[in-house]
Amino acid sequence: MLAGCTPWPPEFAARYRAAGYWTGETMDAFLRDRARRFAERTAVVGGTQRWTYADLDARADRAAAGLARLGVAPGDRVVVQLPNVPEVFEVVFGLFRLGALPVYALPAHRRSEVAHLCAATDAAALVVAGVHAGFDYRELAAQVRAETGGPARVVVAGGTGDDGDSGDTVDSGAPAERDGFTSLAQVRRLGEGQAPPATAADPADVAFLQLSGGTTGLPKLIPRTHDDYLYSVRASAEICGLTPDTVYLSALPIVHNFPMSSPGFLGVFHAGGTVVLAPDPSPATCLGLIEAHRVTDAAVVPPVALLWLDAVAGGAHADRDLSSLRVLQVGGAKFGAEAARRVPAVLGCALQQVFGMAEGLVNYTRPEDPDETVFTTQGRPISADDEIRVVGPDGAEVPEGEAGELLTRGPYTIRGYYNAPEHNALAFTPDGFYRTGDLVRRTPTGHLVVEGRAKDQINRGGEKVAPEEVENHLLAHPGVHDAAVVAVPDPYLGERACAYVVPRGTPPGRGELLAFLRGRGLAAYKIPDRVEFVAAFPATGVGKTSRRDLREALRAAHARPA
Ligand code: J2J
């Protein structure tokens, strides 16, 4: 296994194989097989581009051969930061075909996050868009290289440039073959007519690295194997009833774990269906795509679901023909029961709640569940071999039906983060259960209800923010003596971030402080929504004050009416 990763103990691996969960299929073999079975069916629609399974397979061949000629070798890590454009599949499957490991960055990530990913994985290459949504990713790549001295190669993946109507054009700009920058078009040319490298990836080994939501100063990397991930994909596709007729809309960034695997684009490819890429999650864009492509399944986070509901119920999009829509999946953050009830009433489709995590465990409400279960729970685990423990602060299981922290272990839940032995000692129990940090209650049917959180994280409408990471950046400002970032309730996003700052001398201006954070290359969703200056932090009891207690005290003070 990739160095720095924690394998499943052999007896567990043997059990998961015997049960038929781990089949020995690699990501590359997965695409080859589906391309053979569904060759002329449409795999991907994005902007004006429409690729069949055979097209995608041929593109993966060319990309693999071209990347190999560029010097990317089997086992290399390659950071991929691409928006919702079809090229993301070409690049990712090209890397799998070559035996290299994609490391997924979100389009919202900026210099701080991308530099960390490149350095933490010793990445051989970085793949970025050109200019997308008004942001120049080539500039970002240049800054990352200036800061970290790596990666040696940057691939700029551009669209065809003729699909500006949907607003998702990627402008790769003038071919910049200098300074280690290569356009994807050039990579394709390099790979043209070449046999793709013969790969022999071990299905039990790591296929790619996902980014965790994070609770600490720097986000952790999640190593997922071919075996474990494809099990979750196949099982998800079955639970969700995907078929070759499925037309799936991804309104979320496609490299996030939810639209990738729950059942996500991989589930759709497993079944031979079609993935439609939405360049943005707005009702105008997405409801238009649902109508135009007769979309059957869509996946969103709660704030996006609320926007769509209001757009249809409020009249702005009341005349949209959404009759093709079979199911709306909502997950990533808690979806309240009242909003949940509106989904079938307003959109005329079924709701499926999805409670998952990039570390593994995914829960779904099932199509056959009673309505009340679908509205009021976050589903039950994929697998009969997902082991669930709900424990109190003492680590002992709480009585059935009471809330406690969710611990889990199973055939597609990691046993450790990448290169993080100290963090792993805290995040996993000695017997290998992952401490999710989620507070849940289990119903008699085994469905889980998310009641809250025991981890240091802000869930901003599905986007995860680690307070410590933002605090560390704030503390770098000369005018900041101390800082604590806490979640404050928000009717739309669920939570927003508020930074409490104890200034050093004259307080810096709020705008200046936020510009400072942006200047440090932090993703926009991590920039606090509010800044409050306070003379001192509340004393939270005698002795050493933990950051957690401090954030809790600030949150409580905030919640009290003035
Ligand atoms: C409450 N909290 C939820 C839900 C995730 C499918 C769906 C989502 C993710 C995801 C994913 C929640 N209600 N329905 O990877 O495959 C919070 C929990 C969880 C954390 C994981 C997937 N669905 N959450 O959101 O790795 O706190 O994955 O531990 O981004 O999101 O975040 P992430």
Region 497-506 average pLDDT: 95
Ligand 1: centre distance to CA 257 (Å): 9
CB of 189 closer than 8 Å to CB of 66: yes
List beta partners, residue 331: 354
Ligand 1: centre distance to CA 456 (Å): 15
Got the DSSP string for 285-315?
HHHHHHHHHT--EEEE-HHHHHHHHHHHHTS
- Report residue 487 CA to chain centroid gap: 20
Ligand 1: centre distance to CA 398 (Å): 23
Q: Round to whole Å and give the CA distance between 12 and 31.
A: 27
CB of 486 closer than 8 Å to CB of 233: no
Q: Return the number of other C-beta atoms located less than 10 Å from residue 510's C-beta.
A: 15
Work out the pLDDT band at 244, boundaries 50, 70, 90: very high
The pLDDT assigned to 540 comes to 66
The pLDDT assigned to 541 comes to 59
CB of 365 closer than 8 Å to CB of 353: yes
In this structure, the strands spanning 125-129 and 77-81 are parallel
The pLDDT assigned to 41 comes to 98
Residue 162 vs residue 433, higher pLDDT: 433
Ligand 1: centre distance to CA 97 (Å): 29
pLDDT at 500 over 90: yes
pLDDT tens-place string over residues 170-214: 445 444 456 789 999 999 999 999 988 887 799 999 999 999 988
pLDDT at 545 over 90: no
pLDDT tens-place string over residues 363-393: 999 999 999 999 999 999 999 999 999 999 9
ipTM of the complex: 1.00
Q: Round to whole Å and give the CA distance between 562 and 546.
A: 26
Pocket of ligand 1 (CB under 6 A): 213, 257-258, 261-262, 331-334, 353-358, 362, 378, 436, 438, 450, 459, 464
The pLDDT assigned to 167 comes to 33
Q: Which ligand 1 atom is nearest residue 260's CA?
A: 16
Tell me which residue of 60, 57, 24 sits closest to 38, measured CA to CA: 57
pLDDT tens-place string over residues 404-415: 999 999 999 999
553: which 2 tokens? 């005290």
The pLDDT assigned to 546 comes to 76
If you average pLDDT over every residue of the chain, what do you get? 93
CB of 372 closer than 8 Å to CB of 379: no
Ligand 1: centre distance to CA 459 (Å): 9
Residue whose pair of structure tokens reads 């071209």 in the numeric block:
66
The residue whose CA has the least distance to atom 3 of ligand 1 is: 333
The pLDDT assigned to 161 comes to 36
Which of 68-77, 518-527, 532-541 is the least confident region? 532-541
Residue 543 vs residue 84, higher pLDDT: 84
The pLDDT assigned to 426 comes to 96
